[in-house]
Structure 1
Amino acid sequence: MARRKLSHEGTLILDSEGLSKLLADDEQTVALVAEARSRGMEVVISALTIIEAVHARTNKSRLNWVLSGLRVVPVVGDEDARAASMLLMNAGLHGHKYAIDAAVAEAALRQHRPVVMLTSDIDDMAKLCGERVRLVAV
């Protein structure tokens, strides 16, 4: 498997699938997170990603351990919600299907650049983030 190179410094943000794969100890995801940290990148997730990724079978001890090593970006309020809503409108998307993706994209756009996102939803995230966030498929 070819290794994907990440930037020096900046931010690595995980969407729901990125967090799920990290929780499952997926080899590729663990390696990408470790590489990001070794390059001085901060690893973050949106608080909404926890809600989206966690389910009844999630190992709560593993979840707590993984979260302890990440910075959780809070959903702050009205201004962030309006910004996420604007991303949806600009992308031609709407509704609950895209709401969390929009909030994650908005959080990504607020991070220290360069920003790289681990996601399984390349198409929608590309529409939401444009070229300001580098997307890596997981």
Structure 2
Amino acid sequence: MLADDETVVALVAEARSRGMDVVICALTTIEAVHARTDKARLRRLLSGLRVIPVGDEEAKAASALLMGVGLHGHTYAIDAAVAEAALRQQRPVVMLTSDTDDMAKLCGDRVRLVAV
């Protein structure tokens, strides 16, 4: 959404029109920020989403996901936290992601992945 990707904007609008929660893992905001990020725009976009925090219990569950599929936290920590947040949501869950391969490993068939 931050990049105004038409597909992502349309999918989020459709989810909202169906009364679905649109959530984002708090750690995803770290991946979205770079030197040219419009911070005001980011704040506006995030204000329209439910941001899922990552605490101790969530971190432990994300670590267990990593261990379960043989991935290392150094490389996949944020992916694991995002997957763990998705797995905690009421089903059905649809995840928009640019990394369907890793998310498929972490979420299995419990989350429908849409490549963006």
Coarse TM-score class (shorter-chain normalised): over 0.9
SS of residue paired to 2:89: coil
1:54 corresponds to 2:33: yes
Contact in 1 for aligned 2:63/2:73 (Cα 8 Å): no
Cα displacement string for residues 66-116 of structure 1 (whole angstroms, at most 9, x for unaligned residues): 011000000121x21111111001111113110100011001111111111
Unaligned runs of 5+ in 2: none
Aligned to 1:72: 51
Do residues 102 (structure 1) and 80 (structure 2) align?
A: yes
Matched, 1:38 2:17: yes
TM-score (norm 2): 0.96
Partner in structure 2 of residue 8 of structure 1: none
User: Which residue number corresponds to residue 63 of structure 2?
Assistant: 85
User: Match of 1:122, as an amino acid?
Assistant: T
Uncovered stretches (5+) of structure 1, i.e. residues with no partner: 1-21
**Partner-residue secondary structure (3-state), 2:109:** helix
1:116 and 2:94 are equivalent in the alignment: yes
> What's the TM-score, normalizing by structure 1?
0.81
Q: Root-mean-square deviation (CA), in Å?
A: 0.8
SS of the residue 1:132 aligns to: coil
Structure scoring higher RCO (CA < 8 A, sep ≥ 6) equals: 1
Query: Which stretches of structure 1, 4 residues or longer, exceed 6 Å deviation after superposition?
Result: none
Percent identity over the alignment is: 80
